[in-house]
Amino acid sequence: MKSLPWWKEAVIYQIYPRSFFDSNGDGEGDLPGITSKLEYVQQLGVDAIWLSPFYTSPNKDGGYDVADPRDVDPRFGNLADAQSLIDHAHELHMKVLADVVPNHFSDQHEWFQAALGAGPGSPERARFHFYDANPDGTPPNNWISLFGGPSWTQVADGQYYLHLFDSSQPDLNWDNDDVNKDFEETLRFWLDRGVDGFRIDVAHGLVKEDILKNHHDPQGLSNALRLDYPMDHETRNALLLSVPYFDRQGVHEIYRRWRKLFDSYGDREIMAVAEAWVHPPINATKYVRPDELHQVFNFDLLTAPFEAAHLYEVINRSIELNATVNALPTWALSNHDSPRVASRIGDEESRALALFVFALPGSSYIFAGQELGLPDGELSDSDRQDPSFIRSGGTVKGRDGARVPLPWSGDSTPFGFTSGKPWLPIAQSWQRFTVENQDKDPSSILNLFRQALTLRRQYLLASQKISWVQSPIHGNHDDSLLAFMRESVTVVMNLSSHSKEVDVPGEVLLSSFGDIQVHGSKKLLPARSCIWISN
Ligand code: NOJ
């Protein structure tokens, strides 16, 4: 039997370089810092790392404002450091994914600076979306930036340029050949240095339509796109069905071209995963058609409540939709853009859900620090750096809470992360989360993740099928239990706040929380817990 490509069921560990480990005492993580901790990452049992951007950048949006995609920002090191990181990861048998940011550059990119100097109508401006002002001086349309405020900024000669994000992130014009060629060069640049694939930022945003038309409800649309904004389901759905700057047909042509480029690297099995927030959910599967990308993020679990019916629905839907294009789903409980799962649903709940998700078919993403059970950092407004905080005048708190650096060792903050002052403060109460402390504690979440990832390889990966188990509790339906079988393992999660006895023969392989009382085939699951049983 031919084995699956490495990425199909990979566990991928996302590293936010600025917050991982600081090797030079400047308070910010860097590439040599990551390299020095790769053994730790490998011991977790992951297959690959994904590095959020480390390219030359004024860092107005945590490095997603790229001024030179083919060089390393001095705050993170240099190209030789990137090479050492890639090589060392490979020595440890881990793949490396880089982040590629094709929707926009930084305004400090030489192309944008040249465009400013070259003036209206120039080929330099044609690489971006520059348009004249309306006769009354207003911007070409009424779109609102995803970080708040208008998505147009005016330059000295009166033209406006489009930026879906911060004004320092001008959107690129993907109808322009230079743009296409430049990104192909960037992809090859990193592939030739050994990276094994890419995470594609805003993959659904590259092509815009109706750029000179006003949207009928720009504020509604802007709210609908915010995960934390309460809105009734139907209104949100209606608004998200047609976003003039997201999920346009043209993006798929770009990924078909990229797929050919990836495939030209032959048996290196290069892969790419799309960050594509699209609607309705079936549209996400278009990005993973056989001649396009390999994976698309499934963001459902970043917002899902810890509630059995809801989880069943979104998990099942993702498996079924991906199957229509012969793809496997991806699972993520946290990332650098959303509240950490432990803060969002609770400590015990997040341990249980992680165990549940690690047993599912497809690829699991872990956001660095999730294996330590980190909550969001408590920050004061003066600490915050996220452009969404700044551009919304502080009404949106932004994503800094999820980006607080990792606590490694010792008794006092900053817990070995840096010998200097960390770029975001690490609370003294995080002592209990340090790697050093959790290493020693057999019941820590860190050791739970290590065991889960070992057992996942041992017991689960031979088949990509699961079957849901309807009634694991004494033959009665219980809507606070979720269970499925995969291979010879039954996975049961108790979502209620009471312990529950389930009747499933076999040996308990792993439990998310505490010891399990076993009486023959009966097992007592603690509240908010998940167990794996080998039949
Ligand atoms: C998605 C990235 O994950 C996020 O951090 C960034 O702000 C936007 N894209 C813009 O690049």
Return the bridge partners of 12, or none.
48, 365
**Ligand 1 in contact with 50 (CB < 6 A)?**
no
- pLDDT-based confidence at residue 2 (cuts at 50, 70, 90): low
- The encoded tokens of residue 27 equal 């308070």
**Ligand 1 in contact with 165 (CB < 6 A)?**
yes
Q: To which H or E segment does residue 524 belong? A: strand 522-525
Greater confidence (178 vs 475) lies with 178
Note whether 488 and 522 are within 8 A (CB).
Answer: no
The Cα–Cα gap between 302 and 379 comes to 21
Catalytic residues: 201, 275
The predicted structure's pLDDT at residue 478: 72
Q: 11-103+177-375+419-451 has which fold?
A: TIM Barrel (3.20.20)
Encode pLDDT of 206-224 as tens digits: 999 999 999 999 999 999 9
Among the ranges given (223-227, 243-247, 290-294, 362-366), the one the predictor scored with the smallest mean pLDDT: 223-227
Encode pLDDT of 144-179 as tens digits: 999 999 999 999 999 999 999 999 999 999 999 999
What average pLDDT score do residues 469-496 get? 82
Find the 165 Cα to ligand 1 centroid distance in Å.
Answer: 8
Note whether 200 and 272 are within 8 A (CB).
Answer: yes
What average pLDDT score do residues 429-448 get? 98
531 closest CA partner among 302, 520, 502 = 502
* 237-239-243-248 Cα dihedral, nearest 10 degrees: 30
- The encoded tokens of residue 343 equal 């803060």
Encode pLDDT of 14-28 as tens digits: 999 999 999 999 999
**Ligand 1 in contact with 400 (CB < 6 A)?**
no
- pLDDT-based confidence at residue 477 (cuts at 50, 70, 90): low
Q: Which of 55, 201, 275 to mutate to test the pocket of ligand 1 (most atoms within 8 A of CB)?
A: 201
Note whether 374 and 406 are within 8 A (CB).
Answer: yes
Greater confidence (241 vs 133) lies with 133
Encode pLDDT of 15-70 as tens digits: 999 999 999 999 999 999 999 999 999 999 999 999 999 999 999 999 999 999 99
Encode pLDDT of 252-294 as tens digits: 999 999 999 999 999 999 999 999 999 999 999 999 999 999 9
What average pLDDT score do residues 93-107 get? 98
**Ligand 1 in contact with 147 (CB < 6 A)?**
no
18 closest CA partner among 432, 428, 446, 417 = 417
The Cα–Cα gap between 231 and 236 comes to 6
- CA 420, 423, 429 angle in degrees (round to 5)? 85
The Cα–Cα gap between 513 and 528 comes to 8
> What would the DSSP string read from start to end of 331-350?
EES--TTS--HHHHH-HHHH
Find the 53 Cα to ligand 1 centroid distance in Å.
Answer: 10
Looking up tokens 């969001």, which residue turns up? 376
Nearest CA, atom 11, ligand 1: 64
What average pLDDT score do residues 377-381 get? 96
**pLDDT reading at 472 higher than 60:** no
- pLDDT-based confidence at residue 313 (cuts at 50, 70, 90): very high
Q: Which atom of ligand 1 is nearest to the CA of 61?
A: 7
Q: Does domain 462-534 have CATH number 3.40.50.300?
A: no
The Cα–Cα gap between 92 and 224 comes to 43
The Cα–Cα gap between 51 and 99 comes to 6
Q: Which of 52, 64, 367 to mutate to test the pocket of ligand 1 (most atoms within 8 A of CB)?
A: 64
Find the 337 Cα to ligand 1 centroid distance in Å.
Answer: 7
Question: What is residue 294's DSSP assignment?
Answer: S
The predicted structure's pLDDT at residue 471: 57
Residue 183: left (phi > 0), alpha (psi -120 to 50), or beta? alpha
Nearest CA, atom 10, ligand 1: 64
Domain residue extents for the chain? 11-103+177-375+419-451, 462-534
Average pLDDT of the chain?
96
Determine phi and psi for 378, rounding to 5 degrees.
Answer: -90, 115
What average pLDDT score do residues 107-121 get? 98
